[in-house]
Amino acid sequence: MILPANSLGLDSDEAPRRYSDFLARVASTGSLWGIWCGETWATANDPSGSRGSLFLLWSTKRAGIDCLDKNRGKFPSDSYVDSIPMEKWLELYTPKLIRLNSAPFINPDEALRGIIVSPADLRRDIVDYLDSLRLQGSDLTKLKSRVRKRRATGE
């Protein structure tokens, strides 16, 4: 995992922890969360001006709702937090963000402090995290098998 270089308003210790937590939750639930604003997802302007926009993205529905509630006046009145399946994010949204020169804005809090990561890096980090879980699961299965064999042979 490459830690994101851009964090808005977060101290240097908080950004890597928040990003790791994001990856773990997304991997465990298979969902990402955004604010749906009637016809499109909520975005923010990139303060650096180097990207088209920032796609607001959370690892839990509750975090998205908290941010929306605290910033209700910044969004259309009919906005709500909705799920984006991970596969759909990886296959459809990531390429679109790359084409638009936009980036995910990861787990912004109520003060809109969060992490900016390139869409390609986020995709790679999600896939790498899932692969590491599969590898750990595979190792655990092998270990259980060895333990059963040893019990059966009396070792």
Whether 69 is covered by a domain: the verdict is yes
Number of CB atoms found within 10 A of residue 129's CB: 18
pLDDT single digits (tens) 62-91: 999 999 999 999 999 999 999 999 999 999
pLDDT of residue 52: 86
pLDDT single digits (tens) 119-152: 999 999 999 988 887 755 555 555 555 556 666 6
For residue 95, give the CATH number of its domain.
Answer: 3.40.1350.90
Range of the domain at 120: 6-153
Q: What's the mean pLDDT when you consider all of the chain?
A: 84
- The total number of structural domains that make up the chain: 1
Quickly state the pLDDT bin for 4 (edges 50, 70, 90). Answer: very low
**Residue 53 class from Cβ within 10 Å (0-12 exposed, 13-18 middle, 19+ buried)?**
middle
Whether 1 is covered by a domain: the verdict is no
Whether 132 is covered by a domain: the verdict is yes
Give the residue from 121, 127, 125, 104 showing the smallest Cα distance to 33. 104
Mean pLDDT to the nearest integer, 29-55: 91
